[in-house]
Structure 1
Amino acid sequence: MKHALMNDENRPSNLGEPTARVTRARAKFLGSSSGLPPLYPSAKHDDKRVSRASLKRAAPDKSVGSLAACHPNKKRAVLKDVTNVNCEKLYINCINAAKGQPIRQDRKGSLQKKGKVEPACFAKGSQVLEVIIENIVDELKLEGSQGTCPAVDLPTEPTKVTNEVSVAADDGKLCMKEESLEAKGVIDIDSRHRDPQMCSPYAADIYTSLFTRQVDRKPSPDYMEKLQRDITKGMRGILIDWLVEVSEEYELVPDTLYLTVNLLDRFLSENYIEKQKLQLLGVTCMLIASKYEEICARRVEEFCFITDNTYKKEEVVEMESRVLNLLKFQLSVPTTKKFLRRFIQAAQASYKVPSVELEFLANYLAELTLVEYSFLKYLPSVTAASAIFLARWTLDQSDDPWNPTLEHYTRHKASELKSTVLELQELQLNTKGGMLNAIREKYKQPKFKCVSTLRSPESVESLF
């Protein structure tokens, strides 16, 4: 057995007769390397196993030399001919975008620019990139030396201006450095808060957006006269007064109450409704608002129960779909409460110790406007600023209730708030209030410092 294996191992194999499929690349390779062995053995020895040792001995020693003898330039030339067209187009686009100058390409595929002939980008791509970078740097240096920027031409001679002018290095645009808040006598209320929930870095941008959107989401101030014929202003006031009691019963946050009234008025501004469905509309709007504002919203059955089961669950769900589709699901509304939070911070900035009475009194005056139909003509930011103005005057008549800090953050001057403040003071002095006393009773509680009982001894009209 051993001799048989040795005989098989020493038996010469006819490796020069390829039986496998020869491709063009392999035929070319065999011709250039003086006949390397094929990948597979001869057909005569297919039935016998050829060991690795025999294959190693059969391989010629000059294989490495033959590989090195292959002409390397041939493959590079093929790759160059295939890829240079797309590569040149790519770099032409890069150079055109960077320089803004036309670059023409001749028939031979070379780049021509200002009489210079550039080599193919496949061979010298790094040089093309260096040219692009150098051109951009030269343009920036040229613009800096001339004292100009792409956006605005600066004067050649320096002039004295009130605001400091500077050119931003990152975008090359003209920037006007605004006068600091301290120079204007304004206290920066965002720099004091370290609570991440106050969103101090973004507060200014957030309220800029709210100031813009409050006009779009504002209900019509005269829908009672133009559209509604079956309900009156008094019915609306009674409904909202009852919703105040519901929010207290279910311990809802104030934002839910404000959003409820906004959804109610916006729906009534576009859709006619019978007085038999007015309470259904009120509880449905509060259901939608609680889903949006509350952490744990109340169930539909609870709102049906609060109406003494006057309406069924199916009716509330149907009305909910009707309201949402009419309002196009636009529930993010800048209400008076959202502006009031910001303005209270600005009002407290001038106090050494924050005044709790000021916060409660401002909230009380703002909620009084929910019941009054006449306040729909005012923007929520104006109502919130007027509540702060009257609250500060009610608590302290020795000082001007308006200051540069409040004017900066509310974006309203004291003269612009005159009509709203005077109308709000009439609500404050109206102790009778008829049947609508839910808000007054709410803020008469000790937890709110009984702010509904406070009155200013002097009229606020003297300030205007």
Structure 2
Amino acid sequence: MMEEADENRGAGPAKPAAAGFREAGNRRALRDIRNLVGARPYPCAVTKSKSGLDEKNPIFETRRPVTRKFAASLAKSQPESCVERTNGRPVLAPIGHERRNKKPADASDCFRAIDVEFSTDHDLPLPMVEEATKEMDYDELEEVEMEDLVMESAPDIDSCDSENPMAVVEYVEDIHNFYKRAEESGRVSPDYMINQFDINEKMRAILIDWLIEVHHKFELMHETLFLTVNIIDRFLSRQSVARKKLQLVGVTAMLLACKYEEVSVPVVEDLILISDGAYSREEVLRTERAMANALSFDMSVPTPYVFVRRFLKSAGSGRELELLSFFLVELCLVEYEMLRFRPSLLAAAAVYTAQCGLRGFKHWNRTTELHSTYTEDQLLECSRMMVDFHRKAAAGKLTGVHRKYSTFKFGCAAKSEPAIFLLDGSSSSSSR
């Protein structure tokens, strides 16, 4: 084998191994593509000639790289019509630019022309824009500048949790943007009670006030209470319920919410016991199936809880503001008329009202406004209703929320002074 290699080496250059290489003899190496001025173009029907070169463009004969000296020589060799001047310095014009604006010599050339010039001998109407521009005096034209519509972005409030994997800082904004878009799906009509024949708003308030006490007794999570109330309202908006079964609906809704939110779920027997044995285990499980089917097993709805947490973080809250905000929101859970407010607006109004109550004047900082997307004026109506509920919380028959937040565990938030000045619109100052 070595001897054959030596013989071949002395026989001159080796021939191509395949016929395909001979057929592609006019192909250019990759290193020659677009990196040398004067390199011949690829063979095509327009540029190909018998000799393989474009005789009209002798510049294609050379294969020198572009240098400053070579570019200057090209500029000198071209006609004066091809050289443009900028600040007295010659600038090389594109090759063939003198032919670009030339009219076709005959009809056959018209098929190769891109821009066709129509004759202006005919009295054709000008387009409306051109006609208007023709009549205008260019000295009277004014420069119109578009207004910069730059939306102010919300300040970053999650950088402090960058080391906490449970805070999901990477996509927490996406989560809350989704909550804002999806909150309508979890809402009910604010007048759904007109379709109930045996229950009314007062019975609903009694049920929820009792469930708040049960929730507190079982030491369940905040999320469970808000989801329980949401399940009750959504079910009652779809299904008529007899008065004697209303408590069963409430107990079953709490069982469903616990299964969705809690780690340790109360057993059915505990819920029957807390209901004073009014219902059997079979009734609870049958009602659970009916409620889950009526709601299409959809328990993933944004409640005011998730929004309160987010807005408290944007407000830089302390423990006192947090407890007072949740006290105001839970007061609203009992009230049927508060269903007409979106969960996010309800949460923002609770934080705003709590801030006003603690500070003694109107306060709604820019960071919280950007994260909540609600201005102070948009919150005033809901906030004034909360102040009224706060003022009357200790009176009347439904005092479950007031008793709960009057304990030391909840910082005696119910005993704080309500922001009465919001009711008449008076305030000492407004901090932005």
**TM-score normalized by structure 1?**
0.59
Matched, 1:343 2:311: yes
Alignment of 1:224 with 2:186, yes or no, is no
Matches within 5 A, 1:114-153: none
CA deviation map 1:32-71 (0-9, x unaligned)? xxxxxxxxxxxxxxxxxxxxxxxxxxxxxxxxxxxxxxxx
Which of 402, 408, 412 is matched with 1:446 structurally? 408
Q: Which of 250, 275, 278 in structure 2 is aligned with 1:310? A: 278
The corresponding residue for 1:382 is 345
Are residues 338 and 116 of structure 1, via their aligned partners in 2, closer, same or farther at CA, if it must alter by over 3 Å?
farther
The 8 Å contact of residues 190 and 339 in structure 2, kept in 1 or not, is answered as yes
Match of residue 321 from structure 2: 358
User: When the two structures are aligned, how many residues end up with a matched partner?
Assistant: 293
Letter in 2 for 1:297: V
The one-character-per-residue Cα deviations of 1:412-458 (angstroms, maximum 9, x if unpaired) are 11111121011111100004442211111110011211010111464
For 2:335 and 2:407, locate their aligned partners in 1 and report how far apart those are by CA, in whole Å.
22
When residues 362 and 447 of structure 1 are mapped into structure 2, their CA distance, relative to the original with a 3 A threshold, is: same
* Structure 2 spans left out of the alignment, 5+ residues: 1-16, 21-42, 49-143, 428-432
Quote the Cα distance in structure 2 between the aligned partners of 1:356 and 1:247.
Answer: 21
Task: Name the amino acid aligned to 2:298.
Answer: Q
SS of the aligned residue for 2:258 comes to helix
The separation in 1 between residues aligned to 2:183 and 2:337, in whole angstroms, is 18
Q: Tell me what 1:284 maps to.
A: 252
Residue 460 of structure 1 and its aligned partner are, at CA, apart by 1.2
Counting only pairs closer than 5 Å after superposition, residues 194-343 of structure 1 correspond to structure 2 as 194=162, 195-225=164-194, 227-343=195-311
SS at match of 2:219: coil
**Sequence identity (%):** 37
Q: Kindly tell me: are residues 273 and 114 of structure 1, through their superposed partners in 2, closer, same or farther at Cα, counting changes over 3 Å?
A: farther
CA separation of 1:251 and 1:431: change in aligned 2, threshold 3 A: closer
* Partner Cα separation in structure 2 for residue 180 and residue 213 of structure 1: 22
Q: 1:458 to 1:234 in 2, by over 3 A?
A: closer
Q: Unaligned stretches of 5+ in structure 1?
A: 1-71, 77-111, 118-158, 164-175, 182-186, 349-353
Change (3 A) 1:204 1:114: farther
* RMSD, aligned α-carbons: 2.6
- Contact residue 356 and residue 419 of structure 2 kept, 8 A: no
8 Å CA contact retained: 1:220, 1:266: no
1:113 to partner: Cα distance: 8.8
**SS at 1:237's partner residue?**
helix
Instruction: Name the CA distance, whole Å, in 1 between partners of 2:350 and 2:413.
Output: 13
Aligned residue number for residue 169 of structure 1? none
- Please report how far the alpha carbon of residue 191 of structure 1 lies from its aligned counterpart in structure 2 after TM superposition: 1.8
Q: 1:416 aligns with which of 371, 374, 378?
A: 378
Distance of 1:204 and 1:234 partners within structure 2:
38
1:214, CA displacement in angstroms?
0.7
Structure 1 segments of 4 or more deviating over 6 A?
A: 112-117, 159-162
Q: Structure 1, residues 59-109: CA drift from partner, whole Å, max 9, x if none? A: xxxxxxxxxxxxx989x9xxxxxxxxxxxxxxxxxxxxxxxxxxxxxxxxx
Q: Which structure is richer in relative contact order (CA contacts within 8 A, separation 6 or more)?
A: 2
